[in-house]
Amino acid sequence: MPNTIIIGSGSYLPNRVIGRDYFKDTVFYTDEGEKIEKPAEEIISKFVEITEIENRRYIEDEQSNSQIGYEAAKAAIEDSKIDPEELDYIIYASNFGDVTIHGYMNFMPNMAARVKNKLGIKNRKCITYDMIFGCPGWVEAMILADNLIKAKAAKTILVIGGETLSRVTDPYDRNKMIFADGAGAVVVKATDNENVGIISHSTICDNSVELNYLENNSSINKDEDQKRLYVRMQGRKIYEYALKNVPVAIKETIDNAGLSLTDIDKILIHQANAKMDYAMIERLHKLYDIKEYDHAISPMTIQEFGNSSVATIPTMFDLIIKGKMEGQSFKDKGNVVMTSVGAGMNINAIVYRFP
């Protein structure tokens, strides 16, 4: 049975760096719709203390999600040195599609088809899929790609994660400072070597009481237009859910690969919130009775790039493999975990082994 290896990667980080001063004139409201009387700077400082997000990236007004996804895809294809006409599938992970500057979501035609068009691919057998799966969308797209390759339905697949969350955040919500824009992509290919590539993966979908922990909803400022929808989340519930479930899901995936945590060189965890990410990694180590560990095992980009949802993991992968993250690198024949949690609630994880 063939395995799935990454043969090229690319990413796109918007040029606009948005620091804390960008929010200093914001009037913030509580989730209950009450105006917060504290000075904005105090709210911002507390936010930075908890999340560690000092900066984030936003696209320009004339840019779109599919455009930055195309830039990441083009870089990944160039890195892989393949002819784009060889691609059997393009899978684009996104939650909101091409969002206009007025906040309207657009998925027709789908995002993968738009990228195929921008790449100038003429191959009619190159199939275009969109993956809408919350923040775990890119990891799930990788799992879908692996399943297609193992089923011998494809040999070469382009997997993209792109989001422009700056256009779907409530102007009055403190959580808007978490979200950012960006895109990352990889080209994966079938290999007959069963000991490399994606050697294990798992997915969990909890869609009962957890369904609306992250959702689209109207502004928390009831004096604003209640017809327009924004990203809304129940931060405390998400935090508790993630800490309880994500470490267990990661351990299950590692165990299914026939490995232990000591065999894992890096954990690329979705950059959701620094406090939450640290806590999940710590709890994972506790499951293996490990009290002390090198925190470099879980690289962090959220401090400078914010939470760009589906783009955080492929962007981080690309930066590390190209030597653009100080102190971070992948080992030959090393094992890496890629894992995410998000709207649904959904959790997934991959164990990937480098050739």
Summarize pLDDT for 297-306 with one digit per residue, the tens: 999 999 999 9
**pLDDT of residue 155 exceeding 90:** yes
Q: Give the global pTM.
A: 0.96
**pLDDT of residue 321 exceeding 90:** yes
> What average pLDDT does the chain have?
96
Mean pLDDT of the region 300-317? 97
Q: How far is CA 72 from CA 10, 11, 77, 119, 154, in A?
A: 5, 4, 9, 11, 21
Report the share of the chain in percent with pLDDT over 70.
Answer: 100
Summarize pLDDT for 244-256 with one digit per residue, the tens: 999 999 999 999 9
Encoding tokens for residue 171?
A: 């102007």
Mean pLDDT of the region 182-211? 97
Summarize pLDDT for 201-228 with one digit per residue, the tens: 999 999 999 999 999 999 999 999 898 9
* Amino acid identity for residue 312 in this structure: T
Per-domain residue ranges for the chain? 3-194, 198-353
Q: What pLDDT does residue 154 have?
A: 97
Residue reference for tokens 């689209």? 216
- The CATH class, in words, for 198-353 is alpha beta
Summarize pLDDT for 7-16 with one digit per residue, the tens: 999 999 999 9
* Model confidence band, residue 183 (pLDDT cutoffs 50, 70, 90): very high
Summarize pLDDT for 270-298 with one digit per residue, the tens: 999 999 999 999 999 999 999 999 999 99
**pLDDT of residue 147 exceeding 90:** yes
**pLDDT of residue 44 exceeding 90:** yes
**pLDDT of residue 136 exceeding 90:** yes
Summarize pLDDT for 99-122 with one digit per residue, the tens: 998 888 999 999 999 999 999 999
- CATH topology identical between 3-194 and 198-353: yes
C-alpha span between 180 and 343 (Å, rounded): 16
Summarize pLDDT for 228-244 with one digit per residue, the tens: 999 999 999 999 999 99
What is the four-CA torsion angle of 300, 272, 135, 313, rounded to 10 degrees? 0
C-alpha span between 10 and 76 (Å, rounded): 4
Lowest mean pLDDT among 31-35, 77-81, 205-209, 246-250: 31-35
Query: Do β-strands 89-93 and 346-353 pair in parallel, antiparallel, or remain unpaired?
Result: unpaired
C-alpha span between 211 and 134 (Å, rounded): 11
Mean pLDDT of the region 167-182? 96
C-alpha span between 311 and 307 (Å, rounded): 8
Q: What pLDDT does residue 103 have?
A: 87
Mean pLDDT of the region 65-94? 98
* CATH of span 3-194: 3.40.47.10
- Cα 52 from chain centroid (whole Å): 18
